[in-house]
Amino acid sequence: MSQGPVDASQVPRFAGPDTYARLPRLDQVERADVAIVGVPFDSGVSYRPGARFGPAAVRQGSKLIRPYNPALDVSPFADLQVADAGDIACNPFDIDRAIDTIEQAVGGFDAKLVTIGGDHTIALPLLRDVHRKHGPLALLHFDAHLDTWDSYFGAEYTHGTPFRRAVEEGILDAEALSHVGIRGPLYGKADLAEDRRLGFGIVTSADVMRRGPDEVADALRQRIGDRPLYISVDIDALDPAHAPGTGTPEAGGLTSRELLEILRGLSGCNLVGADVVEVAPAYDHAEITSVAAAHVAYDLISLFALGKRT
């Protein structure tokens, strides 16, 4: 039987453990199906820093999460043993060493991971580890930005380059790569051509508004098929009205409802790993961003639970 969150009828939500959703720590359970792991690293950012405090903020924003998810008709903490694995401590002064540390650390987990960042640089070592276990991956990337640029100031490993590196390393299945939520100015039209060359399809935030979350989710499922799927969620996929606490905000983004509904529409996909990144609480207001990110993580855990049924 799974050990779930602390009972809110016995321990007030402003008390109790500071784990995600007040779940048990990994060292308090014999095994875990899904582990929540934080990576407080933001040395790869190109604008506003602060995502190193994201894991703590998302845990704080998760205190009101309850055990039953009515949108997906699943009780993920009962169907799965979910535990909080704490944070991976990595070098804040050396990006290459930090990437190596993250990759080695996540390789030691038997559980599926929902990783909380941290900036988007951390997606590359996470993808490397999941690829070793599952082979070429379908990628669903929610973001305002492409994150397939080649370099920043000569640096090849930053929060704007992880998916280009992943394609170059043969980690991703070029037939099943999608960005969702893309918007805003680019450096030039060539950015889009280069992104297509790498294999990505784009669903803009305007596409989601016009087509609706259900139609978008249907199209994404068709592109993904039965391939092992990794979902990476940069919280700036949301409009700043829904996620002000992030490092590179762009106007015209998704609503939190649209993002959650698209995720819920992916029930039945072969989800093998996920992350939620770029939460920077210094720019947040009333925990708007951290609460949104906590609920994204909750629906990702719920998708893992639904996958166990099939």
Which residue ranges are tagged as binding site for Mn(2+)? 120, 143, 145, 147, 234, 236
Say if CB 17 and CB 8 are below 8 A apart: no
Give, in order, the Cα–Cα distances in Å from 294 to each of 41, 168, 286, 291.
18, 31, 14, 5
3-class secondary structure, 39: strand
Which of 121, 56, 83 is CA-nearest to residue 304? 83
Handedness of CA 25, 31, 35, 40 (dihedral sign): positive
Q: What is the C-alpha radius of gyration for the chain, rounded to an integer number of angstroms? A: 18
Sign of CA dihedral 106, 107, 110, 111: positive
Read off the tokens for 168: 């170059």
Omega prior to 118 cis, within 30 of 0: yes
- Strands 34-39, 112-117: pairing is parallel
- Could you tell me which residues are annotated as the binding site? 120, 143, 145, 147, 234, 236
Identify any residues that bridge with 202 across adjacent strands, giving them in sequence order: 179
Show the tokens assigned to 136. 């070429």
Euclidean distance between CA atoms 258 and 264, whole angstroms = 10
End-to-end CA distance of the chain: 19
Whether the Cβ atoms of residue 18 and residue 62 lie closer than 8 Å to each other = no
Q: Can you read off the two tokens belonging to residue 180?
A: 């969702």
Return phi, psi of residue 96, to 5°: -60, -45
